[in-house]
Amino acid sequence: MPLIKTDFDGLLIFEPKVIEDDRGYFYESYNRRMYEDEGYQYDWVQDNQAFSSRGVVRGLHYQTGDMAQAKLVRVIEGEVLDVVVDIRPGSPTYGKSYSIILNAENKKQLLVPRGFAHGYAVLSDTAIFFYKCDNYYSKEHEGGILFNDPQLKIDWLLTESEIQLSEKDKVQPVFNKHRPFFTETK
């Protein structure tokens, strides 16, 4: 089965079966039935794509309330360190982080359920990052956590001088002061 469970409830790694020959490769990057057969049902409503250069850190971001989002993330070109933090109150992994290398070669994807802050760091010269969302973006519902919060101890695999942040991400609150999430997850 190409879906691999992690120690975080609902957080899954998808490793596709890649068929390669002298012409190149083919793989099925998404199959709704496969997820449904394993008990996961998502209605993806928005696709997003971002191009970034080495050292760019985006995150840690999430949306709250009825506008919370699950994401299915992957890298089309290059390599990133993908990071999530469980912000679901009452979860046994609340406040814990999980990271995985996603790149064009391994073609892995990470299914990030609602209730996680998400971010990534570009480790290659450039990267194209692609993700599906099960809810639309809402500025009024966005929240964030400071990427280098000492409590979270996330190793972004970059030197401090390499890291490039947006102005918004430079001033996100630390984990203990982030905007509250909600208890319902999808």
The token duo for 136 is 């639309």
> 186 pLDDT exceeds 50?
no
Residue 180 · residue 88 · CB < 8 Å: no
Domains of the chain, earliest start first: 43-177 (2.60.120.10)
Catalytically active residues, by annotation: 61, 131
Full-prediction pTM beyond 0.85? yes
Query: What average pLDDT does the chain have?
Result: 94
Whether the per-residue pLDDT at 181 is higher than 80: the answer is no
Q: Check residue 184 and give its pLDDT.
A: 47
**What is the distance in angstroms between the CA of the first residue and the CA of the last residue of the chain?**
22
The pLDDT value given to residue 178: 83
